[in-house]
A and B are shown apart, each in its own frame.
Chain A
Amino acid sequence: MPKALHSLLLALLLLLPLAARAAGDADYFIAAKPNEQASLLQGWAAQPDPARLELLSSLQQGRLGPDDSRKLRLNNRLRGLVDNALASHRLLSDDARVRLAAAQQLQKSAQPAQVAFLDRRFASEPDAAVHAALGLALANLQLVATDPAVRLAAVRLLGETGDPMARTRLESLLDPSVETDPTVRTAAETSLAQVKRKLLIGELLGQAFSGLSLGSILLLAALGLAITFGLLGVINMAHGEMLMLGAYSTYVVQVLVQRYAPGALDFYPLLALPVAFGVSAGVGMLLERTVIRHLYGRPLETLLATWGISLILIQAIRLLFGAQNVEVANPAWLSGGLQVLPNLVLPYSRLVIIGFALCVVLLTWLLLNRTRLGLNVRAVTQNRNMAACCGVPTGRVDMLAFGLGSGIAGLGGVALSQIGNVGPDLGQSYIIDSFLVVVLGGVGQLAGSLWAAFGLGIANKLLEPQIGAVLGKILILALIILFIQKRPQGLFALKGRVID
């Protein structure tokens, strides 16, 4: 204990003059002209001093110090230099994550004057990831070194990254007037090919991932649709509005939590899940009882009636919440992302949604295959009359299944609110794609919906960069039309022997 106290005192004593000097730096900085400020910052970046850390972080926020109210004007160039100097100082931090972020920043912004400092840190860096990142930052700078051997080593090092920055640097080296040494140029070509291959892998993985993400949303949207279509033989045109109701329920929950329990704001999406399920399922069951059950046996009319319902729901939401999008914020644990490759970041929100969609499928599967209700639903789907004869209360089953399908869409709405805009037209943009999922996947089959949703999602996103989003959609539609030539009942058809 006394030892700790001792070192604390010592640190305080040491800090006193440093603090004074830092304050002096601030005065000096604000008095200088922009050009002088720039060279000042460059000097600081080349020779970092822990005492300036506070000043630089304040500068980054446009102030001179935490309690300093003097006005500060920085232009873009100065702001860039501040960021660079700050990164340079943060390399001295004890936290490896801070050092890593700083090294990555320096890969983009380091100046030749910082070579000596970076070299020293590179030699003494204990953490492997930071070491590699620093090596790259250094390599970027060494590309302009006078010694061809140093340049050659730097070019080879750059070839091992998959960084978009490295590609532009290497491309500039291919010009004989920039790089005079032919061996370095050849090495640059090889490195460039390596970098491009890595970037391509990253891009393809990124597209596949956004495809998975779109697929999981389509899955949540189409799952309920497939169940009700299989059961009742009707397409619920208001199904997209169930997504919208779910998203708006999330918004309302967020507002309420903000007002009454701001401490729990981080967990509002979890609270929104049951609320959205309840709201959508309730509205769905109400619709089934009041409108849809009167139209059994007339599927085309049901389609029109549910379209009417969707118009009313959209307009009601417009009158209640306004025609503009409402703001649904991501909680902290859903923002940010997982950096897999230099050009591939997987956002946490999308990862969570993919997992969530799979959980919902699993639960639905359990519900349909392991419960009494599920047994009834499957029985009615296969043969309504026979099920009724065996004592299945078909009316109640219809209502509950309709509620279940709508509730799943409501859950999809919660997921959508975390990655997209929430507006009255939200459902309309997903509904046609989810119809196609049902057509492609066949009715009443979870596996069909699963494959069709992810297949359509990935196909959409892979085609998008090659031929554009619109042509991709049209091509997919044409493919689906051709596909159902071969298999009119979708991917997974229920075998039945009913004919009219």
Chain B
Amino acid sequence: MNQPLLVTATQKAGPRLTLAVGALVLLVLIALPLLSLLPAGHSLQVSAYTLTLVGKILCYAIVALALDLVWGYAGLLSLGHGLFFALGGYAMGMYLMREAAGDGLPAFMTFLSWSELPWYWAGTQHFAWALCLVVLAPGLLALVFGYFAFRSRIKGVYFSIMTQALTFAGMLLFFRNETGFGGNNGFTNFRSILGFEITAQGTRAVLFLLTVALLAGSLYLGWRLARSKFGRVLTALRDAENRLMFCGYDPRGFKLFVWVLSAVLCGLAGALYVPQVGIINPSEMSPTNSIEAAVWVALGGRGTLIGPLLGAGVVNGMKSWFTVAFPEFWLFFLGALFILVTLYLPRGVVGLLKKRGEQ
């Protein structure tokens, strides 16, 4: 049977190759920010644009991994992960806005002629509290929503619709000026983070390294989870929830734990995304964004850990190329990707490689 060289190679070399490729990718990712520190004009220098783009994609990869934990392992397709991502981003953005405004009010509040900060802005000038918010805001929302959803055993399509409605409602809420998060424009014009200038090469490099670290950490966490008994129960939950219950397990706790964990990971990714990209606005919460994340996971292969990272990288890489080269055909391509992946690649690219490997 004719098959691509890569597939044959994977098949031959097996796990050792995967490990080698992974190590290589990690090395490149660590080298990128260091190369960006080289003086301008040097032949090996990585531009700030490239670094930001790759950093952005890495943040998306963390979202994909988080979504894979709930969808690929527990079988809960969330169409609202953009909400958690944006909440983490907004929590970080609040700190950055306070830092940029100094002792005064953030600029958008002066436009609205507000004289004091709303109560929920209290303490956001402290980086530590902002970090707590990054975890707490998405975590608590996921906890409350998940508690009610899993208690009444909402699953499948119902769960997807409810999460989509949730992120839609969040988007509408943050679009309002009165909500106190900058309305339509969101947060932008950040200056510094912890006293370091935000556009400086050094700051960018550190943020990038942090993103790589978070990605590696989440990957390790996911790997440990998937191999543990907990991961087995999750998979059982996905495949036959009723039978699992007959075996004496209460699925609610398992679902709730992985759901909240996934939301917190998204929040952290959002918090790293905002200082690198320099803007956060309510369109991050639009249902379109969240559902796009699902296609990253589907393309890469759900229920695998590498797949979502691969999917996020490929789709976002394609997106940044397409939207420049053929802007009006991007949606056709994305739509076709949705259809073709679900029709012909039910287990994603990684699933394809694995299957060939097993033959």
Residues of chain A having any CB pair with chain B under 8 Å: 229, 233-235, 291, 294-295, 298-305, 307-312, 314-316, 318-319, 432, 435-436, 438-439, 468-471, 473-474, 477, 480-482, 484-485, 488, 499-500
Q: A235–B338 Cα gap in the complex (Å)?
A: 15
Q: Select which of A300, A305, A439 is within 8 A of B343 by beta carbon.
A: A305
Contact A301 B152 (CB under 8 A): no
Q: Which 4 residue pairs are nearest across A and B when measured between Cβ atoms?
A: A308-B338, A311-B335, A312-B335, A315-B331
Inter-chain contacts of B241 with A (CB < 8 A): 500
Q: A308–B294 Cα gap in the complex (Å)?
A: 11
Contact B169 A300 (CB under 8 A): no
Contact A436 B157 (CB under 8 A): no
Digitize B229-249: 1 where CB-to-A-CB distance is under 8 Å, 0 elsewhere: 000000000001110000000
Task: Say yes or no: A235-B161 contact (C-beta < 8 A), given A301-B346, A308-B339, A309-B335.
Answer: yes
Q: Which of B35-43, B98-106, B143-151, B260-268 is found at the contact surface with chain A?
A: B143-151
Residues of chain B having any CB pair with chain A under 8 Å: 71, 77, 145, 148-149, 151-154, 156-158, 160-162, 164-166, 168-169, 172-173, 175-176, 240-242, 287, 291, 294-295, 298, 328-329, 331-332, 334-339, 341-343, 346
Q: A294–B345 Cα gap in the complex (Å)?
A: 12
Return B90 CB to nearest CB of chain A, in Å. 16
Contact A308 B77 (CB under 8 A): no
Contact A500 B335 (CB under 8 A): no
Return A72 CB to nearest CB of chain B, in Å. 44
Contact A299 B153 (CB under 8 A): no
Chain B CB within 10 Å, residue with most, of A235, A303, A469: A303
A235: nearest residue on chain B (CB-CB)? Answer: B157
Q: A291–B328 Cα gap in the complex (Å)?
A: 24
Q: A485–B158 Cα gap in the complex (Å)?
A: 13
Chain A CB within 10 Å, residue with most, of B154, B156, B335: B335
Q: Select which of A311, A469, A484 is within 8 A of B154 by beta carbon.
A: A484
Interface secondary structure of A, over-half rule: helix
Contact A485 B151 (CB under 8 A): yes
Contact A305 B342 (CB under 8 A): yes
Task: Say yes or no: A314-B331 contact (C-beta < 8 A), given A298-B346, A473-B169.
Answer: yes
Inter-chain contacts of B160 with A (CB < 8 A): 235, 300, 303
Inter-chain contacts of B152 with A (CB < 8 A): 484-485, 488
A-B contact pairs, 20 of them (CB 8 A): A235-B157, A298-B342, A299-B156, A301-B298, A303-B160, A307-B338, A308-B337, A311-B332, A312-B332, A315-B329, A315-B332, A435-B161, A436-B161, A439-B161, A439-B162, A470-B173, A473-B169, A477-B166, A481-B145, A485-B151
Return B284 CB to nearest CB of chain A, in Å. 17
Q: Select which of B154, B341, B343 is within 8 A of A488 by beta carbon.
A: B154
Inter-chain contacts of A302 with B (CB < 8 A): 342
Q: Select which of B77, B151, B165, B343 is within 8 A of A435 by beta carbon.
A: B165
Q: A110–B14 Cα gap in the complex (Å)?
A: 92
Contact B339 A499 (CB under 8 A): no
Contact B346 A303 (CB under 8 A): no
Inter-chain contacts of B166 with A (CB < 8 A): 477
B344: nearest residue on chain A (CB-CB)? Answer: A294
A470: nearest residue on chain B (CB-CB)? Answer: B172
Contact A474 B164 (CB under 8 A): no
Chain A CB within 10 Å, residue with most, of B172, B329, B336, B342: B342
Contact B335 A474 (CB under 8 A): no
Contact B148 A474 (CB under 8 A): no
Q: Select which of B154, B164, B168, B294 is within 8 A of A304 by beta carbon.
A: B294
Return B50 CB to nearest CB of chain A, in Å. 28
Contact A303 B157 (CB under 8 A): yes
Contact B148 A485 (CB under 8 A): yes
Q: A470–B168 Cα gap in the complex (Å)?
A: 10
Inter-chain contacts of B329 with A (CB < 8 A): 315
Contact A474 B173 (CB under 8 A): yes
Q: A480–B148 Cα gap in the complex (Å)?
A: 11
Inter-chain contacts of B151 with A (CB < 8 A): 485
Inter-chain contacts of A435 with B (CB < 8 A): 161, 164-165
Return A157 CB to nearest CB of chain B, in Å. 42
Contact B338 A311 (CB under 8 A): yes
Q: Select which of A233, A312, A439 is within 8 A of B331 by beta carbon.
A: A312
Return A486 CB to nearest CB of chain B, in Å. 8
Inter-chain contacts of B328 with A (CB < 8 A): 315, 318-319
A318: nearest residue on chain B (CB-CB)? Answer: B328
Contact B173 A315 (CB under 8 A): no
Return A286 CB to nearest CB of chain B, in Å. 13
A308: nearest residue on chain B (CB-CB)? Answer: B338
Q: Select which of A308, A439, A468, A474 is within 8 A of B334 by beta carbon.
A: A308
Q: A291–B339 Cα gap in the complex (Å)?
A: 8
Inter-chain contacts of B71 with A (CB < 8 A): 300
Q: Select which of A294, A312, A436, A481 is within 8 A of B336 by beta carbon.
A: A312
